[in-house]
Amino acid sequence: MSRLGPYGLFDAIGIELEYMIVDRETLDVRPVADELLKKVGGGYEKDVAFDGIAWSNELALHVLEMKTNGPVPALAGVAERFQEGVAHANALLGSLGSRLLPGGMHPWMDAHAELRLWPHEDRTIYETLHRIFDCRGHGWANLQSMHINLPFADDEEFGRLHAAVRLVLPILPALAASSPYADGRATGFLDTRMEVYRRNSDRVPSAAGKIVPERVFTKRAYETELLSSIYEEMAPLDPEGVLRYEWINARGAIARFDRGAIEIRVLDIQECPRADLAIAFAVIAVVRALVEERICSFEEQKAWDEAALAAIFLDAIRDADRSVVRDPGYLRALGLEAVPSTAGDVWRRLVERVVSREEGYAEWRDALETIVERGTLARRMIERAGCEPDRASLKALAGEMSGCLQEGRLLGASV
């Protein structure tokens, strides 16, 4: 069996965190990512690296991405590195009259009028995306997330990892939803980011599918049954093949055979790196338990159809931790009693039975307890600003969340 990647299952982890750049006073979005990166790298390169963390920009000029500068062997200490990066970025942004804002979506951005595309390196890619999909609107211009990259070494490992990720993906918004507001109002979805994201490729329906990936468990099947359908549908719109790469696949978890990893994309960014990394720790722990068949067998995992999983996912993006998981087979597949439960209760039991037994859990216990016991960040945001907020209450909330990011604390945490 040929080797597909440099790392085997759970040998390494890659984390990417995206933040909005906003005006220091008004908290409106500010398209100055290129000027920030120039302060660090000396030019308009879209990637700069230092101290184990890399900064970059993709597509929208008001977004800064921070990521581990290559894979790391474990998450211990990674939150502190990201927190140092936040402090450094905010210090530099001060001279631009700006600061960083966390959360899955800006609560009042006019995403049609305020989008500014990255105009430097790789601009052809972004211009092509804009020409085909029209990147104005929330589904492209206003969505910030955490990506988790998990490696696989060969086809067998890819299949096992893909099966496990597919199974846990539907309930990830119940842990990470942080986008209850858009256009200055509550949208009715706690994970509005995923609601708009799942529609942003409607012109090429095969690009996003049902967000939950199809039942493909080998590289050949993935390329011939999934990627090829995207490339074929894209071809008339992109005859030069500018976008003919694995990353044009917009599902909630995508295979990156070029780097030997699966990238999980459905997690809204949280209020501080400690919260993001705690969620990453929990997700990886459950995925590992599934891969190792400690919860259910590989064959059982492979049997799940994407439509059944997508139905659970759609409930979760609307109601997050209070969405009700009714499918008894799905609950049994996660090692739980086959009794209808809120997705928040599902995570509470998974943390108790799986996550808490992982080495290193103590570093993330307090953050996970806040999320599981107090609710998702979206839930805590609603508690602050309400279901019918005015601009003043949304600005107060955004200011508090910017403070949480700078100080490394969870919104509503007791400590």
pLDDT digits 0-9 by tens, 171-193: 999 999 999 999 999 999 999 99
pLDDT for res 41: 86
* 186 beta partners: 181
C-alpha pair distances (Å), 2 with each of 75, 157, 187, 217: 29, 12, 48, 15
Cα separation, 84 vs 102, whole angstroms: 15
* C-alpha of 23 from chain center: 24
The tokens for 152 are 């696989």
Dihedral (CA of 370, 371, 372, 376) sign = positive
pLDDT tens for 61-76 read 999 999 999 899 999 9
Q: Does position 48 have pLDDT exceeding 70, yes or no?
A: yes
pLDDT for res 228: 97
Which residues, including other chains, have CB under 8 Å from residue 83's CB and lie 6 or more apart?
272, 273, 274, 408
pLDDT band at 35 (very low <50, low <70, confident <90, very high): very high
The torsion angle over the Cα atoms of residues 276, 17, 250 and 260, rounded to 10 degrees, is -90
pLDDT tens for 317-367 read 999 999 999 999 999 999 999 999 999 999 999 999 999 999 999 999 999
Q: Does position 14 have pLDDT exceeding 60, yes or no?
A: yes
Q: Hunting for tokens 């999909």 — which residue is that?
A: 133
Q: Does position 385 have pLDDT exceeding 60, yes or no?
A: yes
* C-alpha of 228 from chain center: 25
Which residues, including other chains, have CB under 8 Å from residue 16's CB and lie 6 or more apart?
65, 66, 67, 68, 146, 147, 149
Q: Does position 415 have pLDDT exceeding 60, yes or no?
A: no
Angle at 131 between CA 128 and CA 132, to 5 degrees: 90
pLDDT tens for 219-268 read 999 999 999 999 999 999 999 999 999 999 999 999 999 999 999 999 99
pLDDT band at 1 (very low <50, low <70, confident <90, very high): very low
Q: Provide the greatest CA pair distance for the chain.
A: 60
Q: What percent of the chain has pLDDT over 70?
A: 99
Phi, psi of 137 (to 5 degrees): 105, 160
Q: What predicted TM-score, i.e. pTM, was given to this entire model?
A: 0.97
pLDDT for res 2: 61
Q: Does position 104 have pLDDT exceeding 60, yes or no?
A: yes
Q: Does position 152 have pLDDT exceeding 80, yes or no?
A: yes
Which residues, including other chains, have CB under 8 Å from residue 141's CB and lie 6 or more apart?
60, 109, 111, 112, 114, 115, 135
Neighbours of 337 (CB within 10 A): 10
Nearest to 309 by CA among 151, 162, 147: 162
In the chain the domains, ranked by start, together with CATH numbers, are 14-407 (3.30.590.20)
Cα separation, 49 vs 56, whole angstroms: 9
**b/e map of 237-253 (b: 16 or more CB within 10 Å)?**
ebeeebbeebebbbbbb
Mean residue pLDDT of the chain comes to 96
Nearest to 189 by CA among 201, 177, 197: 177
Phi, psi of 69 (to 5 degrees): -80, 75
The residue type of 46 is K
Neighbours of 227 (CB within 10 A): 20
Mean pLDDT, residues 374-379 taken together: 98
Cα separation, 352 vs 331, whole angstroms: 15
DSSP state of 201: T
Backbone dihedral region of 197: left (phi > 0), alpha (psi from -120 to 50 degrees) or beta? alpha
- Break the chain down into helix, strand, coil percent, rounded to 5: 45, 15, 40
Which burial class, exposed, middle or buried, applies to 113 when counting CB atoms under 10 A from its CB (0-12, 13-18, 19+)?
exposed
The tokens for 285 are 């722990």
Nearest to 102 by CA among 65, 48, 155, 149: 65
Cα separation, 18 vs 36, whole angstroms: 14
